[in-house]
Structures are given as structure tokens and as C-alpha cells.
Structure 1
Amino acid sequence: MGHDHGHHHHHHHGTGNIKTAFFLNLGFTILELVGGILTNSVAILSDALHDLGDSLSLGLSWYFQNLSSKGRDKKFSYGYKRFSLLGAIINSAVLLTGSIIIIYEAIPRILNPEQPSTKGMIALAIVGILVNGAAVLKLRKGSSINEEVVSLHLLEDVLGWVAVLIGAIVMHFVDAPVIDPILSLGIAAFILFNVFKNLKKSFTIVLQGTPSNIDIALITKKIEALDDVKEVHDCHLWTMDGEYNIFSAHLVVPHKTTVDELAEMKKSVRTILEEMGIAHATLEFETQEEPCSLANC
């Protein structure tokens, strides 16, 4: 049996990125809660609730991202990489709950709209765009699914604040207070759409689905094109966290293949897999005469 142990490290800067975003988001959430009460804006209060959930999620993501960088041990033989994914799932669940609360609070205000303080809304919206925009730029440098989910949340915040800014400007010149709760529902709908998309991606990884960006049939074809590889079967491809991809397969070789030839063959296979984005591989060699009950790729 051959073992390929390629390792790629993507998490070193991820913890710092999420840490920065956490403190930016927490500080602004406190300002936002006070501002929402003072301006009597349900849109701002709704976004404050969303940001409060984000702050909790960012804290959890920071913890899990840091934990995911630990190496493997007796308890977790593949290491702690999937804990980063757990942070992304919890993050999505918090946003889902927050969005439902936003909808619950906004609907009565549509039926009985109240005029908010538009000047205060405009000021808070500008600050919100700047703060959340800075956090997004920081996280966009990351590569983990955890950072991707957190970055998406903060990008939603930026877009939400742009909508609040436009709505506040309109309400400043036009008597249309119903715009405020309508903005809340729009923000909630946008958040829910992306939350379900991220949960689908996360649970596909948890259920060990094949990475969408890697073609297992193409991998098999490339390996079978090598000299002395007669067949490839019992192929398995999955990912730990959306980045660290794992592959295993049985390779059928001629009966008289030497140990040196197998080593050279394994080196060639490893090169193919690295080019295809595989970080870890386990290969089992079989002769043509050896029966295998798992000969279904």
C-alpha cells in the first residue's frame, strides 16, 4: 500500500483576519444598538440584531479557525481542520435565527409605519459602510470556507447599509416611513438566500460529498494513462474543510512490477493529484491476477 502525505497550510492568517473582523463588528454593533434606539429605525435595529449575531458567530469562528490549525493527534487522525467548517455552520444558523426575528419585527411596522430620524440613519449608514467594508477587505484575503462565510456576512452588511443609506436619503425628502421596514425585509431575504446556499455547501462537505471543483473521472483517466497502470477502481474523493482534499484508490499493476517501479509510479500519481488540488492520498496497489470485490470506481 502506498501513502501520499502532501500537506497545505491555509489557516495561519485566517485566525488573524477573523480576529480583526470580530473586534470591528463588536464595537460597531454596540454603536448601532444605541443609534437604532435613538433614531427609532427598525431597519437599523434589525441590522444591529443581525450584527450582534455576527459578533457571536465571529467569536466562534475565531475560536474554531484557531483550533482547526492544530495538527492531527490520537483523537482526530486527520487533524482539526473540520472545526473551521463547524464554525461556518454555527455562523449560518445564527444568521438564520436573526433573519427570522428581523422579519417578525418588520411586518408590524409595515402596517403601522413610524417616521425614523433620517439624519441619524444617514450618519450611521456611512459609518456602517466604512467599518464593515474594512472588515470585508481584511477577510477577502483568506481562503477557508469559514473566512468565506464570515466575509459574505460582512459583505451583506455593507450592502444592507448602502440600502439603508439610500432609504434614509429618500425618507429625508419624502414622507414615506414605510421604506424603513421594507428595507428590513429586503435585508432579511438577501441574508436567508445566502445562508441556505452556505448551509448546503457546508453539509455537502460534512456528508463527504465530492468537491465540485475536482473531476474524479478526469483524475482516473490521467492515472490510467500512466505506463503499467492497467486500471483504477474503488476511487473515493472528499474534502475536510473545502480546501484540504483527500483521495484514495486501488491501482491495478502487472504481476512482475518491482518495488522501485511502484515507487516511481506513486511519484507520478502524486504529481497528478497535486495538480488536481489533492492534498492527501492513500493508494493501494493490486496485481491483475488479484481479485478485488471493490472494483467499482
Structure 2
Amino acid sequence: MGHSHHHHDHSEGNIKVAFFLNLSFAIIELIGGLWTNSVAILSDSLHDLGDSLTLGVSWYFAKVAKKGRNQSFSYGYKRFSVLGALINAIVLVTGSIFIIIEAVPRLLNPISPNTEGMIYLAIGGVIVNGAAAFRLSKGGSLNEKVVFTHLLEDILGWVAVLIGAIVMHFWNLPIIDPILSVLIATFILFNVYKNLKESFRIILQGTPSDVDIKQIHAAVLEIPKVTDVHDCHTWSMDGEYHILSIHLVIEENLKLSDLQSIKKETKDRVSKLGINHATIEFETVQEKCDPC
């Protein structure tokens, strides 16, 4: 237990450092984008601001999760992270549309940005995001791994801006700047779409994408004295913590010790298939079930 607690604090600390690094640099980028007159820098500042929001939400909910269950939230506070993802998505969609609206006129009439300033900012972007990514690269939690992937995307975005700035510095090709900004904004919108799709799947209590109902049926039907399985429902609290509700039809006249054994075996089997919490109901063959 002590080790688990230490790891959790370590994970929270890593996310906290990455959050402050990203947020500080996103503000510098925003000012730098206006100073260099570069929509590519502005769009990347939006990308970093979005990641800062994600990091902030991750950090906040790492703390909130410690509260556990209570009368108001009997399953705990895990679902709040989905709310955070939705808020983040709204911010990113609004910002991306603004960037595209700004960039389109520049595609028609390119304006030369301050390429020297862009180069300095891009180098700073690679260093800051690289430092945050390195901090999280050794993290073991799923939260840390997801954030690490985001930061790697940021580094690639800054490498693209750096290459674009160097090309514009030596050749008169100012159209590269709005092209880069549109590509970055489109990339953000694509990721937001994927995240929104997953968030709505969780809110609408869809079957988690990494859970196979047929596999659950097959695994439970292998248990001795279980004759049938039905009314099987699975949903997710936050995309990681999956819940199962299942009815097992069992042989007649079983002892309480048999039922306990079947229940334990069922929970062991479904936990290997991605289920974190299982509610099991027993029925006999003659019993009429009212499926929900």
C-alpha cells in the first residue's frame, strides 16, 4: 500500500511540473506569436494551451480522486475527468476556428513574419516540451502515458515550425506560415474529434471499446454450475475504470458456499478482460428475468 501511495504522489508531481512548464510557455508563445506576427506560432500556442488545460485537469483530478466515494457520488469522482475533457474540447475547437479564420486571408495575401523571432520561439518550444516529456517518460500511470503522447505531438509541431521558420528566413516564402497554422489547427481538431467521440461514448454509457461482451459470456459460461448468462451490461466511469452488471443462471439447490465460489471465479475471470467492478445476480432456470 505504501508503494502505491508513493507512486501516486510521484505521478501527480510529474503532471504538476509538466503543467507549469506548459502553461508558462503557452503564455510566452501567445505573446511571441503576436510579436513575430506568425499565425503558426499562435496556433501552436493554442495547442500548448490546450495541453496545459489537459494537464491541469489531470493534476486536479489526481487530487480529487483521493476523495473516493460519498453519498453524493457513490461511484466516486472518476466521471469528472470526462467533464474536464469536454471543457478542454470546447476551448480547443473555438481557438482552432479562430486560427483558421485568421490564416485563410494570409493564404491569399501572405504576410512576412519575424522569422528570427520564430526560430528562437521554436527552439524554446522543443526544449520546454522536451523537458516536460522527459519528466513524464518514466511514468507508469496511464494518465502520465497519455500526457507524454500529447507532449511528443507538441515537440513534432515545434520541429515543423522551426523548419518552416528556417526556410522562410532564407527564402521569401511567407505562405509557409499560414499553411503551417492551418495544418496545426486541423491536427488539433482531428484529435478533439477523437476525444469528443470517446467522451460521449462514456457519457452515453456505451460499451468500452476495449471490452468484448462475447469474451465475457464465453469466459463465464466455462464456470461449472453456470448454465446461462444474460442481461450483461458494461460501461465505463472515465475510459479506464470499467463496470459490469451480469445475471448468471445457475443449477438448482446450490449451497451458499457454491454461490460464493461462482461469484469469486466470475470476478477473477472478468477482471482479466478489463472489468474493474462487477455486480453479479444469480437466477434459476425457472425464474423469470425482467431485462433492463
Letter in 1 for 2:111: E
Corresponding residue for residue 188 of structure 1: 185
Instruction: State the superposition RMSD in angstroms.
Output: 2.4
1:68 partnered with 2:65: yes
2:233, 2:107 → 1: CA distance?
52
Summarize deviations over 1:216-247 as a string: whole Å, max 9, x none. Answer: 11111111111100111111111111111111
Higher relative contact order (CA 8 A, sep 6+): 1
Contact 1:57–1:94, Cα closer than 8 Å, also in 2: no
After alignment, is 87-96 or 205-214 more displaced? 87-96
Shift of 1:113: 1.6
Contact 2:47–2:188, Cα closer than 8 Å, also in 1: no
Unmatched runs of 5 consecutive residues or more in structure 2: none
Corresponding residue for residue 77 of structure 2: 80
> What is the number of equivalent residue pairs in this alignment?
287
Corresponding residue for residue 233 of structure 1: 230
Letter in 2 for 1:168: A
Shift of 1:159: 2.1
1:159 partnered with 2:168: no
Contact 1:58–1:150, Cα closer than 8 Å, also in 2: yes
Contact 2:43–2:184, Cα closer than 8 Å, also in 1: no
Shift of 1:134: 2.8
Letter in 2 for 1:267: K
1:266, 1:111 → 2: CA distance?
67
Q: Secondary structure at the match of 1:281?
A: strand
Shift of 1:66: 2.2
Corresponding residue for residue 95 of structure 1: 92
Corresponding residue for residue 117 of structure 2: 120
Corresponding residue for residue 178 of structure 1: 175
2:192, 2:27 → 1: CA distance?
24
Unmatched runs of 5 consecutive residues or more in structure 1: 1-7
Relative to structure 1, the CA distance from residue 142 to residue 89 in structure 2 (aligned partners, 3 Å threshold; closer, same or farther) is farther
Identity %: 62
2:9, 2:203 → 1: CA distance?
22
1:44, 1:154 → 2: CA distance?
16
Relative to structure 1, the CA distance from residue 137 to residue 240 in structure 2 (aligned partners, 3 Å threshold; closer, same or farther) is farther
Relative to structure 1, the CA distance from residue 136 to residue 129 in structure 2 (aligned partners, 3 Å threshold; closer, same or farther) is same
1:289 partnered with 2:286: yes
After alignment, is 63-72 or 20-29 more displaced? 63-72
Relative to structure 1, the CA distance from residue 213 to residue 230 in structure 2 (aligned partners, 3 Å threshold; closer, same or farther) is same
Letter in 2 for 1:255: E
Corresponding residue for residue 21 of structure 2: 24
After alignment, is 284-293 or 51-60 more displaced? 51-60
Shift of 1:148: 6.3
Q: Which has the higher helix share?
A: 2
Give TM-score scaled by structure 2 length.
0.89
Shift of 1:161: 0.9
Q: Secondary structure at the match of 1:289?
A: coil
1:131 partnered with 2:131: no
Q: Secondary structure at the match of 1:55?
A: helix
Contact 1:54–1:95, Cα closer than 8 Å, also in 2: no
Shift of 1:109: 1.7
Shift of 1:31: 2.1
Corresponding residue for residue 40 of structure 2: 43
Shift of 1:65: 3.6
Q: Secondary structure at the match of 1:235?
A: strand
2:156, 2:130 → 1: CA distance?
9
Relative to structure 1, the CA distance from residue 53 to residue 243 in structure 2 (aligned partners, 3 Å threshold; closer, same or farther) is closer
Relative to structure 1, the CA distance from residue 190 to residue 118 in structure 2 (aligned partners, 3 Å threshold; closer, same or farther) is same
Letter in 1 for 2:164: G
Give TM-score scaled by structure 1 length.
0.88
Q: Secondary structure at the match of 1:292?
A: coil
2:140, 2:33 → 1: CA distance?
32
1:216, 1:13 → 2: CA distance?
35
Contact 2:236–2:242, Cα closer than 8 Å, also in 1: yes
